[in-house]
Structure formats: C-alpha cells, structure tokens
C-alpha cells in the first residue's frame, strides 16, 4: 500500500514530499502522504530508510509520532514500545497488554486526532474523533465498546458531556443548541438520536430514586397524555366551529327574536307546529318579515336578497381583515403546508396560537359568507395547531422537532375525524395523504386521538341529531352488477372535472401571485364574495348551505320529502309498502336544470375562491360538484330503467316495478370520484365516504369510482391539488410517492463543483476570527470539519446556527476568549503556548454525518433523503471530502431532470 493518509497530521509535521497537483480525485493530491514502503515500489524513501517512532520522553512538544512500517509497507498502528498510545487508534492498553475502554490518550499525551472510520453510507470516508479517555479500565481482558453517534462510549457513570451536535443528556450547556431557524429543514437522524440518548439516560437514572422512577414513568406515558389532550381540545373547538358556522349561516336569512343565539332549526324546536315549509316556522322570522310583515312578494324577495348579500359581505370582510392583521398564515386550507411541515420543514408561527384563534374564527365567517369553500380542510390545520401548542407541555416533544411531528400526525387524523365524523378515515388520511414519517406507535396514537376527538364531538352534538356523521343515509337497496359501468363512468367524469379545476385554479393562483392583484387581498375577497352572493341567491340549490345541498343530493325520495327533486308521479297509499319506480314529474326536470347551473357556478367560483386570503377548504366544494354530477346521472339511469324495464341490463331487478335504481347512491359515488380526482386519495377516501354516509354495502362502487378517478387524474395531470400548491409555493417537499428515474451520480449534484473550493473548518488550526470571517463570507447552513486544509479527511459536521450560538456564548461567559483563540473540535490537550486560551467546541460537532461516495447513484441519494429525512449528506472519495449535497440541491436536480424551473424552490 503505497499511499496511506496519516490523520491528525499536517504537512508542516511531515518530512515526506507530496505531489503538486490539487485535483480532488488525484492520487497525488497533497492530502495523500507517502509513507515508507519497500524499495522499488515508487516510494520517495530509499529502502534503507526506516520510519522510527519518536520517543515521547525526548520529543519536543507537539511532535507527531511516526510509526514503523512493517515488511509489506503497511503502517503498524498497534501500540508498542512500552504501552504508548497511538493517537490514530481509539483504545489504550494497560501494562499487562489488556485493552482499556478508553478513547484517546492519557492527559498530557498525544490524543484527539481523528480516527478513520466508515460513516453511514458505506464509503469509508467518515471519521470519529478519539476523545479524551472515559472512566478507566473495566478490568483485564478486552471489552467491546458501545459505539454511538455521539463519539463516546456509553459506560460513563454520570454521562458528563455525552453530546451529539450540541445535545447533552442532563442539560443544554449552550441555550438554543439543537433548535432550527425559520424556513430550514430539520435533521431527522440527529433529532431521533438525541431522543434515544435522552431516553437511555432516563432509563438508567430510574434506579437512582423514587422521583427518577416517576420521571421515567411520566416520560413513557407523556405521548399518550399529549394525544389525549389534543383529541379533547380538537373535539371542543370543532363543536364550537360547527355551532357558530350554523348560526351565522342562518343569520343571512333571518333571526329568532325570542332567542337570537339559536339557529333556525333550534328556534323551530320550540314550535308546536307539526310541519313547516322548508324549515320555516312561526318562531323564526325572515328579514323580509321583520321589515314588511310578509314572506312572499317582490318587496320581500328584494329585502331578503339585500340582507343575504349584506351579511355575506360583512362576514367576508371580517374574515379577510382578521387574517391580514393578526395571522397571515391562517388563510387557505393549510394542508399543503402541513404536508411540508410533516416532511421536516420549519415554518415558524404557522402552527401558533394566533393562527389557531384566527383560523377558527375565520373559517366560521368564511363558511357563513356563502363562499364556495368548506371547513373540513382547515380543521386539519386547526387540529395541527392544537397539537403543536400542547406538545410544548411535554419537553420530549416540544423541544425535539422530529418527535413533535409524531404528535402533529395524530392531530391531523383528529382534524379529519371531527370534520367528517370519520375517525378511521382520519387515521388513514393522515397515513396516506399528510404524514411523511409514520411509525407504528404513531398509528396507534393517531387512532386514539381520532377516537377521543370524535367522542367529544359526539357528546357536544352540534348537528342536533343521533348521528355524528355529516350526511347519514340509509339505503337498503342492493346495487345491480351492471351499475358498475355508470359508476366507473362517474369516476372518469370526476377525474376530468378535478383536472379542469386543478389546472384552472393553479393558473389563477399564479396570476394572483405575480400580478398586482396579490397586493389587494381584502378587495379580492370582497369582489369574489359579492359575485358569489349575487349569483347564488336566485338558485335555491346554490343559496342553501353546501353541506345541506350534499345531504339533499345523497338522500332518498320518500313520503316526507317535499323538494322538487322528488316530484315523481307516485301515489303513496301505504306507508309501509315499497316505493315503486315512477316517471319523473316536471319538478324533477326543473331541479336537474337548476343543478346543472349550480354545478357550473360552483366549479367556476371554487376556482377563484381556493387560495384567497381567507380560511378555505376543498373537501365540501369537491363533494358538492361530484354529488350534483352523480345525482343527475342517477336520475337519468332511473328514468332509463322506468322506460325500458325489459332490456337485458334491467330485466332481473327492475321488472318487478320496485324502485331498483337509487339516484342518491350515484350522488355519493360521484362525490367520491371528484374528491378523489382533486386530492388523489384512494383508500382513505373510500373509508371516509362510507363512514360519512353509513353506506357500508356500497364500498365496491366507491372503490371503482375512486380508482377510475385517480387513473384519469394521473393521466391528465401528475399532481393532486395539494402537491400542486406545494410546488407553486416553492416548499422543499420530496414526495415519497414519486420515483427518481434518472442515471446521474452524486458527483453531478454536489456543491461545490470540481473546480470550485469547498468552505470547510479545520479541527484545530482556525481561530475565532477565521471562523467568524467564514460565517460572514458564506451562507451555508453547516460546514464539514476536516483534519487540516491540506489533509481534507472528514472529522464531522457542524451547523451554522450552533456555531454562531457557541461563539456568542463563549465570548459572553468564558474569560480569555479573543479573536486569536484557537477553535478546537477535538478532545486533545492543545500544545501549551503563550497565546489566548483555546475554545473547545467538540460538543456541537456531529461526528457521524451521513456520507456517500462521489460515484453513488442519485437514485440512492434521493432515497436516502426521503427515507432517512436527511438535511444534507457529505460526498467523499477514498475517504477524502469532496463536497456537500443538501436537500435543496436534490430538489433542484429533480426539477432540472423533469425539465422544470429549479429556481422555484424558495427556501434557505
């Protein structure tokens, strides 16, 4: 072996010549030092020259020992000569030859140089520091050390100084170490390792006292307590939002003079009337009745129209103003940002208390304004805010970003659970659509959290009925096998409608973002609200609350149903007899035309509404679009079966004269198809739909429509609405569902490129001034630490934020630290000199950074970033540092390979 790196050495200490070329891949680079080998092998040394070990007793301070090469030219790194400790070998030996479990050298000896080790990534390039010895020997005989990412053995009794990138077991010496700046990506591996260290420490301390035992028990159950509280608060907040939105929506139509805080339904509960027209009773006064004492006539219609528009404008103005003044992050649905946050991105204040308060009030106002939006998507954001705030009660979650995301995943499940009354669908939604990292314990906790939230909402009973779900239906007719054809057809139509909506909405949001319109958010909200209210009022199907419309479209036509949709030529003689199939009356045809107009109006208004600066969700508008489409198709199928009962497709079931086609079922399938096309959900969508409606026997039609919708949507446009908005906003999101199909290598993506210089920190030769200059001149989020400028072998990685905090902290509390103080990232005792005292920062050094070689395929690198949640990985060649690949570099590379603009990724 002709070339072998002597780590911990610098060129000034070596009397061996080195080559001039500086190419990083060159074998003759200055960092590859020739060491004695046999004559004739190209060694600069002659065969008679032998490398000898300098006696430490006579050597001047700072002399680097050189070890004798064996006959094969290999360096013998086993300590000899009276038990001297090799600085490149991490174990010390006692006089009897047994190895002690110490790391490095005794005090006053030579230690602290980096030991070559293979870092994760399998490239032989990482290094772990040989720190000062820990404890003492563990008796005779060789013992195996317990290696950790923290660079120390874990056998130390008091764990003093066991650290990993600034984290100590007992306390953080430097305030703020281990936290992240706004708009930065978290390091999952580092945070999970910190939590494991903390957990080991707590488990070890449990035997010490009863108090420590209690602390250990509290730590064990704190996750369950946290999700319990999240479920309780989410259920309560959802109940308040449902009641408030219902009351304010009815306020547009009239008031209950006896008790103004009651909505129309509750006001009429006290009425003795057995029936009342379309929900109106003598206790409930429409605005026209208060001003003209009449509900009918042109004047009454004009007054009602005016009050409808006035209340809508007032609610919208309040919602937009609150968002603009107090919580800009409270706008939109929040699900794209929640997905990004759960993938490991920091957006400060997005899940804060102001966002929670304004979003909760704002969503009530937005829904009440009659805008084409829903409150179900924002409920996920509201629940995540509650999860984030409550996690700070438990330092295990509040101070560890990776652990906090387990609570946020459970909170997202609770949000869907209370939005639809669908706890199982909520868990699956969190797993399929929102969460990035979803271990098994998070699945159980999400299930528990969703259950508690649904139970609390059921106890509050905001809908005032015995069902906790939004649109409960009771169909008892089995579906005909042939109906799978129209169901799949509805899936195709749903996919087309969804793609049209996504493309148009993205175009409008892009226009809003890059034009002057974006500077006037409140004006835009008011204009859209005014247009929506003016168009919506004349059509009874757009005037009513969207949730009521969906319920009407899902429901079956029975004896008590007075809506024009149920105007069939039937004679109900016996209440208990089966409903027979009948011809549609004029009311049905009129209702179908009104529904088609409502479909066009809702589609256009939702395109302009989603993305405005008010809280707005997409679930309910998507369900409404699909339900309208499905009901129209269902009525067409029903009339086909009535007029041609003898044709083969209907011959078996429809020839008896019973009502064999259920139009409400088509509405349900259509709703699932459009929502599936918009969000690209499959499993969770089907579960939400059958939980939402109670229609368990219709799972196969729902699955067929959801699958067809997803296929059509994927064929016409790659992304669902949430992924499209993530890309539009430039959030750094690596979708784990996408595949990387290109053949590039790590060397093609790393920074800097081969002819540029890499900003590095040396382990023991840079001063405080040097490091502060480096921090000013560069904007990197972290810096590799190497042995020396000439000898660029990797020692570890240090974060910019941690460096800044450590330097500021040292200047404040340590005497004698000046700009000329050496900054040392090893455990070695520095050479005594007359200069200022050195600053030791080994505690903030990550000594096991993830590394790859320059020849690693990018497919593997992208997989590592997705599955390990990496923030950056270091690139090496033959153990020598070449460059860094950050998450941003990966995202830009993916965009370039897909022929998209890489500059749309907007993050530090």
pLDDT of residue 1: 41
Helix (H) or strand (E) run with residue 884 in it = strand 880-886
Mean pLDDT of the chain: 78
Number of domains composing the chain: 4
Q: For residue 265, is it within any domain?
A: no
- The verdict on 768 and 701 lying in the same domain is no
Question: What DSSP designation does 617 have?
Answer: B
Q: What angle do CA 622, 623, 627 make, to 5 degrees?
A: 120
Domain boundary among 729, 760, 777: 729
Give the pLDDT of residue 673: 95
CA–CA separation, 408 and 411 (whole Å): 5
Q: How far apart are the C-alpha atoms of 74 and 536, rounded to whole Å?
A: 85
- C-alpha 138, offset from chain centre: 46
Rounded Cα distance between 146 and 155, Å, is: 8
- Is 446 in the same domain as 327? yes
Same domain for 450 and 326: yes
> Other CB atoms closer than 10 Å to residue 852's CB: what's the count?
26
Structural domain boundaries, residue 711: 481-729
Task: Give the 3-state secondary structure of residue 798.
Answer: strand
CATH for 785: 3.10.580.20
Is residue 79 within 8 Å of 130, Cβ to Cβ? no
Contact 245, 364 (CB under 8 A): yes
87 inside domain: no
Residue 246: in which H helix or E strand, if any? helix 210-251
Residue 178 forms part of a structural domain? no
Q: What is the spatial distance between Cα 854 and Cα 551, in angstroms, rounded to a whole number?
A: 59
Distance (Å, whole) CA 469 – CA 692: 5
Same domain flag for 693 and 600: yes
Last residue of a domain, one of 397, 430, 460: 460
Q: How far apart are CA 84 and CA 93, in angstroms?
A: 8
The token duo for 108 is: 């006053």
CA–CA gap between residue 658 and residue 660 (Å, rounded): 6
**Whether residue 647 is found in the same domain as residue 538:** yes
Determine the Cα–Cα distance for residues 842 and 822; give it in Å rounded to an integer. Answer: 13
| Whole-number Å distance between alpha carbons of 338 and 748 | 32
- Do 510 and 635 fall within a single domain? yes
Domain limit, last residue, from 426, 460, 494: 460
Pairing of strands 794-799, 782-786: antiparallel
766 backbone dihedrals φ, ψ, rounded to 5°: -105, 145
In a domain, 169, yes or no: no
CA 811/CA 173 separation, integer angstroms: 14
Asked whether residue 720 falls in the same domain as residue 809, the answer is no
> 3-state SS string over 339-351?
HHHHCCECCCCCC
Residue 894 resides in a domain: yes
CB atoms under 10 Å from CB of 84, counted, come to 18
Q: What is the model's pLDDT at position 573?
A: 57
| End-to-end Cα separation, the chain, in angstroms | 44
Residue 797 lies in a domain: yes
The pLDDT of residue 575 is: 57
* 349 and 454, same domain (yes or no): yes
Neighbours of 27 (CB within 10 A): 11
CA distance 345 to 326: 23
Cα separation of 887 and 404, whole Å?
21
Contact 401, 180 (CB under 8 A): yes
Q: Give CA–CA dist 6/8, Å, rounded.
A: 7
Question: 438: which 2 tokens?
Answer: 């979803």
Residue 190 located in a structural domain: yes
Judgement on whether residues 490 and 631 belong to the same structural domain of the protein:
yes
Given a cut of 50, the residues of the chain with pLDDT beneath it are 1-171, 274-277, 908
Interstrand relation of 782-786 and 285-286 (parallel, antiparallel or unpaired):
unpaired
- Among 784, 783, 781, 804, residue whose Cα is nearest residue 795: 784
Record the tokens describing residue 150, joined without a space: 């923290």
Same domain (yes/no): 437, 528: no
Tell me, what CATH number does 578's domain have? Answer: 1.10.3080.10
Residues 803 and 891 in one domain: yes
**Residue 458 structure tokens:** 């059921």
pLDDT at 576: 56
Clarify whether residues 497 and 450 are in a common domain: no
On whether residue 444 sits in a domain, the answer given is yes
Is the dihedral angle over the CA atoms 668, 674, 677, 681 positive or is it negative? Answer: negative
Which residue, among 53, 62, 12, has the nearest Cα to 33 in the 3D structure? 12
Cross-strand bridge partners of residue 374 = 617
Whether the CB-CB separation of 322 and 607 falls below 8 Å is answered with: no
* Residue 162 contacts residue 154 (beta carbons within 8 Å): yes
């Amino acid at each position: 072996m002709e070339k072998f790196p002597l780590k911990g050495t610098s060129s000034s200490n070596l009397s061996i010549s080195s080559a001039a070329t500086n190419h990083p891949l060159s074998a003759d680079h200055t960092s590859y030092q020739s060491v004695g080998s046999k004559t004739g092998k190209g060694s600069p040394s002659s065969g008679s020259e032998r490398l000898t070990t300098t006696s430490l007793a006579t050597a001047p301070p700072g002399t680097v020992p050189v070890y004798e090469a064996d006959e094969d030219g290999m360096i013998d790194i086993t300590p000899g000569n009276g038990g001297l400790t090799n600085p490149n070998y991490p174990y010390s030996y006692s006089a009897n030859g047994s190895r002690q479990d110490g790391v490095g050298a005794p005090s006053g000896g030579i230690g602290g140089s980096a030991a070559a080790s293979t870092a994760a990534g399998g490239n032989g390039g990482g290094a772990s520091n040989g720190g000062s010895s820990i404890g003492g020997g563990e008796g005779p005989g060789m013992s195996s050390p317990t290696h950790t990412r923290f660079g120390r053995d874990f056998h130390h009794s008091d764990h003093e100084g066991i650290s990993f990138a600034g984290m100590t077991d007992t306390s953080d010496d430097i305030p703020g170490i281990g936290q992240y700046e706004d708009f930065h990506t978290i390091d999952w591996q580092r945070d999970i390792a910190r939590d494991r260290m903390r957990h080991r420490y707590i488990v070890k301390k449990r035997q010490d006292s009863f108090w420590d035992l209690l602390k250990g028990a509290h730590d064990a159950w704190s996750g369950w307590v946290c999700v319990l509280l999240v479920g309780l608060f989410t259920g309560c907040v959802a109940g308040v939002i449902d009641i408030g939105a219902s009351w304010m929506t009815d306020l547009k139509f009239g008031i209950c003079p006896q008790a103004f805080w009651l909505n129309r339904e509750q006001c009429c509960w006290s009425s003795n009337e057995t029936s009342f027209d379309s929900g109106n009773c003598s206790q409930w006064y429409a605005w026209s009745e208060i001003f003209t004492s009449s509900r009918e006539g042109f004047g009454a219609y004009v007054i009602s129209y005016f009050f409808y528009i006035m209340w809508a404008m007032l609610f919208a103005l309040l919602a937009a103003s609150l968002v603009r003044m107090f919580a800009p992050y409270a706008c939109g649905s929040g699900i794209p940002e929640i997905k990004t946050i759960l993938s490991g991105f920091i957006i400060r204040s997005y899940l804060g208390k102001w966002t929670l308060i304004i979003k909760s009030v704002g969503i009530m106002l937005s829904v009440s304004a009659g805008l084409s939006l829903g409150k179900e998507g924002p409920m996920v954001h509201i629940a995540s805010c509650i999860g984030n705030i409550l996690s700070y009660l438990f330092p295990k979650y509040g101070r560890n970003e990776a652990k906090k995301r387990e609570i946020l995943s459970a909170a997202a499940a609770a949000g869907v659970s209370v939005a639809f009354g669908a706890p199982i669908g909520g868990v699956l939604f969190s797993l399929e659509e929102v969460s990035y990292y979803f271990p098994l314990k998070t699945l159980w906790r999400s299930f528990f959290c969703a259950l508690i939230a649904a139970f609390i909402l059921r106890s509050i009973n905001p809908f005032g009925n015995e069902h906790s779900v939004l649109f409960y239906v009771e169909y008892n007719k089995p579906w005909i096998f042939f109906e799978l054809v129209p169901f799949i057809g509805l899936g195709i139509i749903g996919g087309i409608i969804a793609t049209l909506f996504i493309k148009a909405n993205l175009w409008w949001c892009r226009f809003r973002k890059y034009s002057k319109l974006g500077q006037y958010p409140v004006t835009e909200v008011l204009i859209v609200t005014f247009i929506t209210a003016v168009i919506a009022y004349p059509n009874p199907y757009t005037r009513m609350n969207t949730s009521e419309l969906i319920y009407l479209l899902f429901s079956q036509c029975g004896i008590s149903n007075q809506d024009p949709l149920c105007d069939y030529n039937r004679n109900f003689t016996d209440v208990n007899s089966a409903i027979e199939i009948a011809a549609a009356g004029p009311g049905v045809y009129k209702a179908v035309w009104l529904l088609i107009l409502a479909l066009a109006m809702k589609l256009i208004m939702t395109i302009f509404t989603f993305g405005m600066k008010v809280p707005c969700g997409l679930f309910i508008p998507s369900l409404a679009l699909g339900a309208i489409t499905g009901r129209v198709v269902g009525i067409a199928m029903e009339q086909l079966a009535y007029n041609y009962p003898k044709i083969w497709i209907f011959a078996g079931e429809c020839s008896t004269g019973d009502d064999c086609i259920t139009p409400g079922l088509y509405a349900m399938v259509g709703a699932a198809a459009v929502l599936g096309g918009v969000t690209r959900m499959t499993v969770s969508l089907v579960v939400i739909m059958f939980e939402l409606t109670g229609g368990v026997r219709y799972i196969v039609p729902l699955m067929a429509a959801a699958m067809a919708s997803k296929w059509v949507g994927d064929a016409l446009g790659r992304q669902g609405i949430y992924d499209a908005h993530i890309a539009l906003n430039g959030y750094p999101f690596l979708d784990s569902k996408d595949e990387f199909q290109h053949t590039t290598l790590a060397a093609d993506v790393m920074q800097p490129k081969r002819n540029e210089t890499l900003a590095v920190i040396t382990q023991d030769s840079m001063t405080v001034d040097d490091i502060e200059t480096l921090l000013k001149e560069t904007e990197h989020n972290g810096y590799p630490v190497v042995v020396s400028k000439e000898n660029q072998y990797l020692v570890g990685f240090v974060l910019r934020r941690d460096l800044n905090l450590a330097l500021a902290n040292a200047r404040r509390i340590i005497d004698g630290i000046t700009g000329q103080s050496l900054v040392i990232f090893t455990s070695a005792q520095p050479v005594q000199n007359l200069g200022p005292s050195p600053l030791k920062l080994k505690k903030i050094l990550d000594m096991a950074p993830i590394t790859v070689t320059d020849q690693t395929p990018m497919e593997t690198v992208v997989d590592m970033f997705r599955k390990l949640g990496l923030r950056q990985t270091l690139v090496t060649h033959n153990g020598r540092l070449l460059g860094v690949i950050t998450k941003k570099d990966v995202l830009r590379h993916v965009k370039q390979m897909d022929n998209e603009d890489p500059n749309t990724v907007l993050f530090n």
